Chains A and B, each alone.
Chain A
Amino acid sequence: MSASTTTSDIIRRSAAAQAAALEAGEVSSEELTRAHFGRIAAVDGDLNAFLHLNQDEALTTARDVDARRAAGEELPALAGVPIAVKDVVVTEGQPTTAGSKILQGWIPPYDATLVTALRKAGLPILGKTNMDEFAMGSSTESSAYGPTRNPWDRDRIPGGSGGGSAAAVGSYEAPLAIGTDTGGSIRQPGAVTGTVGVKPTYGSVSRYGLIAMASSLDQAGPVTRTVEDSALLHELIAGHDPHDSTSLPDPVGDFTAAARSKDVKGLRIGVIEELESEGFAPEVRARFTESLDQLERAGAEIVRVACPNFTYALGAYYLIMPSEASSNLAKFDGMRFGLRVIPEDHPTAENVMKATRGAGFGDEVKRRILLGTYALSAGYYDAYYGSAQKVRTLVQRDFTAAFSTVDVLASPTSPTVAFRLGEKVDDPMAMYMNDIATIPANLAGTPGISVPSGLAEDGLPAGIQFLAPARADERLYRVGGALEALLEDSWGGPLLAKAPELTNGAQR
């Protein structure tokens, strides 16, 4: 490393640039990994982005990569670049809690397929990131281990459920992270922390080893600081997995080339009428409009598109998601793993289950399990769950019709900038409204990306979302990479460079 460049400079670079520094011998993976742990020690006391650190194993991986590089071995693109993993993804030998008390201290006996891919490619896993309990929430306030705070303003939420992953990437604690997106949990945290978040096409990244919330909606994907970094990580974790019966057999696209193309000439971008006006904060809409103007000047064509059934998507989601969650979370019963609470009176299996689930689950998880139980119960099934599944068909039809005339769709990612901690915690419907723009893609299985669009109210970041047809994820990288370059030219650098400097307690 040259005297003028320190590891604290290098950790502020993109993951691609960190990989290039490793390749050039500017820094070793061990130095880089230690520098990230140093950054975590310096700032995470207040942020609470990490639930568990994995220092010994990460440094072992780093040293192994350094040795292989020194021996002249050709390594994968991101080898030696550290990564953080959302705590809903199981990691062999390392705690996994899904942000819940019911799994406190659980050590999985196997790796999720995507974790296997990260290990094979030589990425040191820094640790597990905080999240809303069982990925239920839009603010990371429902974590049993305390909320994560937004690096831009520590009195605000970092989005959810993947607030820990987004805060870690946004605060330079990790250059890369894994998130999961059931109703927007990668994209919305990306928008409110000034980072990039991608929900891949449903089934294109294996769900094997993800603790399921709603199986027909959940999808793992990248959380990064640049579009190119998301492309690199997406290529690494995507691909067919025989352990997941919903895994697509399709070959993985060249997302990195698409991200680097920076070419939107002739691209038709549809602005979703239903997701542009009511309920979206004026400054969030202003940044959205400016982003579209930039793309239009670069040669894209902007048209307005109607998706009338998106109006019903939120309602359908909040019936389908709790229904599937009520089934998926039945396994947390105190019998085979996790917490077991034994009541004093009549400690039969059924009473142990009730006591364990009563003590182990937080409010939001109980609320959704009960809602799901209600929506699936005799007499209400057709009116609620059955109707919601029909809305899903209508939303898919809206997408099909829209994509017959445009290449991608666009909307603001989240209706507002990051709200204050505690502001919506007692109003479930207000909290659920945060996902209004992101949910349609989960219902239809289509991919989406959130890219920083600038600073809005109170100097906080906003995001723009692009959606593409299923299996056409390359389009997201093409338009996302182009917009990122255009905006960074106008801002004079990455949006994150405008974030306040962090130290433990200094900003409070």
Chain B
Amino acid sequence: MPSIGRDDVARLADLARIQLTEEETARFAGEFDSIMDAVASVSEVATEDVPATSHPIAMTNVLREDVVETTLTQEQALAGAPEAQDGRFAVPQILGEE
């Protein structure tokens, strides 16, 4: 199994959109190796003939009648927003990013 170094943790943090301090990056890198060593045993028994289970109790095609139901009002939906404007969520600049 490849070792998980600081650069790997920094890349994962970037993918997960989490800003880490240098101290956190170093600490997680040390911990991840031991955690992944401990959990890697799953591949010992996960042979090709074993099907994967994604859900404990299989259910298919769970549908409801296509009828209009009560939803949150615009005011309720915006009530917990950090910033709202003109009945919409106000978000930071999203255009012009690299």
Task: Please say whether chains A and B are actual partners in one complex.
Answer: yes
**Does A373 contact B12, Cβ atoms closer than 8 Å?**
yes
Report the minimal beta-carbon distance from B36 to chain A, rounded to whole angstroms. Answer: 8
Q: Which residue of chain B has the shortest Cβ distance to A316 in the bound complex?
A: B42
**Does B18 contact A246, Cβ atoms closer than 8 Å?**
no
Report the minimal beta-carbon distance from A353 to chain B, rounded to whole angstroms. Answer: 4
Q: Which residues of B contact A347 (CB under 8 A)?
A: 92-93
Report the minimal beta-carbon distance from B53 to chain A, rounded to whole angstroms. Answer: 4
**Does B97 contact A350, Cβ atoms closer than 8 Å?**
yes
Report the minimal beta-carbon distance from B30 to chain A, rounded to whole angstroms. Answer: 11
Quick one: which of A245, A370, A377 contacts B62, CB cutoff 8 A?
A245
**Does A390 contact B52, Cβ atoms closer than 8 Å?**
yes
**Does A348 contact B94, Cβ atoms closer than 8 Å?**
yes
Flag whether A209 is at the interface (Cβ < 8 A).
Answer: no
> Which residues 80-118 of A sit at the B interface, judged by CB distance below 8 A?
106-110
Flag whether B56 is at the interface (Cβ < 8 A).
Answer: yes
**Does A377 contact B76, Cβ atoms closer than 8 Å?**
no
Q: Which residues of B contact A336 (CB under 8 A)?
A: 80-81, 89
**Does B57 contact A248, Cβ atoms closer than 8 Å?**
yes
Quick one: which of A318, A337, A352, A370 contacts B18, CB cutoff 8 A?
A370
CA of A366 to CA of B35, assembled, Å:
14
CA of A339 to CA of B81, assembled, Å:
9
CA of A443 to CA of B52, assembled, Å:
12
Quick one: which of A349, A377, A470 contacts B56, CB cutoff 8 A?
A470
Which of A27-35, A131-139, A354-362, A478-486 lies at the interface? A354-362
Quick one: which of A373, A387, A392, A429 contacts B16, CB cutoff 8 A?
A373
Flag whether A242 is at the interface (Cβ < 8 A).
Answer: yes
**Does B64 contact A337, Cβ atoms closer than 8 Å?**
no
Quick one: which of B40, B62, B80 contacts A109, CB cutoff 8 A?
B80
Q: Which residue of chain B has the shortest Cβ distance to A379 in the bound complex?
A: B2
> Which residues 308-345 of A sit at the B interface, judged by CB distance below 8 A?
309, 311-312, 314-316, 318-319, 326, 330, 333-340, 342
**Does B40 contact A326, Cβ atoms closer than 8 Å?**
no
CA of A359 to CA of B21, assembled, Å:
10
Q: Which residues of B contact A363 (CB under 8 A)?
A: 24
> Which residues 133-185 of A sit at the B interface, judged by CB distance below 8 A?
none
Q: Mark B1-33, 1 if CB is under 8 A from A, else 0.
A: 000100011001111111110001000100110
CA of A125 to CA of B78, assembled, Å:
26
- Overall SS of chain A's interface: helix
**Does A318 contact B39, Cβ atoms closer than 8 Å?**
yes
> Which residues 57-80 of B sit at the A interface, judged by CB distance below 8 A?
57, 59, 62, 64, 72, 76-77, 79-80
**Does A391 contact B46, Cβ atoms closer than 8 Å?**
yes
**Does B56 contact A444, Cβ atoms closer than 8 Å?**
yes
CA of A271 to CA of B62, assembled, Å:
37
**Does A315 contact B80, Cβ atoms closer than 8 Å?**
no
Flag whether A216 is at the interface (Cβ < 8 A).
Answer: yes
**Does A312 contact B54, Cβ atoms closer than 8 Å?**
no
CA of A107 to CA of B81, assembled, Å:
10
Q: Which residue of chain A has the shortest Cβ distance to B58 in the bound complex?
A: A445
Q: How many contacts between A and B, using CB within 8 angstroms? A: 186
Assign chain B's interface to a size class.
Answer: 35 or more
If A246-B59, A374-B32, A443-B56 touch, does A384 touch B77 (CB 8 Å cutoff)? no
Flag whether A288 is at the interface (Cβ < 8 A).
Answer: no
If A337-B82, A374-B4 touch, does A315 touch B19 (CB 8 Å cutoff)? no
Q: Which residues of B contact A312 (CB under 8 A)?
A: 41-42, 44-45
Flag whether A383 is at the interface (Cβ < 8 A).
Answer: yes
CA of A216 to CA of B57, assembled, Å:
9
> Which residues 365-424 of A sit at the B interface, judged by CB distance below 8 A?
366-367, 369-371, 373-374, 377, 383-384, 386-394, 396
**Does A396 contact B53, Cβ atoms closer than 8 Å?**
yes
Flag whether B87 is at the interface (Cβ < 8 A).
Answer: no
**Does B80 contact A338, Cβ atoms closer than 8 Å?**
yes
Flag whether A477 is at the interface (Cβ < 8 A).
Answer: no
Q: Which residue of chain A has the shortest Cβ distance to B72 in the bound complex?
A: A109
Quick one: which of A217, A339, A373 contacts B82, CB cutoff 8 A?
A339
CA of A350 to CA of B18, assembled, Å:
10
**Does B79 contact A109, Cβ atoms closer than 8 Å?**
yes
**Does A392 contact B52, Cβ atoms closer than 8 Å?**
yes
CA of A350 to CA of B93, assembled, Å:
9
**Does B54 contact A340, Cβ atoms closer than 8 Å?**
no
**Does A337 contact B19, Cβ atoms closer than 8 Å?**
no
Flag whether A202 is at the interface (Cβ < 8 A).
Answer: yes
**Does B93 contact A348, Cβ atoms closer than 8 Å?**
yes
CA of A63 to CA of B47, assembled, Å:
61
Interface contacts beyond A348-B97, A370-B13, A371-B36: sample of 6 additional A-B pairs, CB < 8 Å, sorted by A = A202-B57, A245-B62, A342-B92, A350-B17, A358-B20, A470-B56
> 26 A-B Cβ contacts within 8 A?
A109-B79, A201-B57, A203-B56, A203-B57, A312-B44, A314-B39, A315-B38, A318-B39, A319-B42, A330-B17, A335-B91, A349-B94, A354-B17, A366-B24, A369-B16, A370-B28, A371-B35, A384-B39, A384-B42, A390-B45, A391-B45, A394-B45, A428-B34, A429-B34, A432-B38, A442-B56
Closest 7 CB pairs of A and B: A445-B56, A358-B19, A340-B82, A387-B46, A389-B52, A337-B80, A390-B46
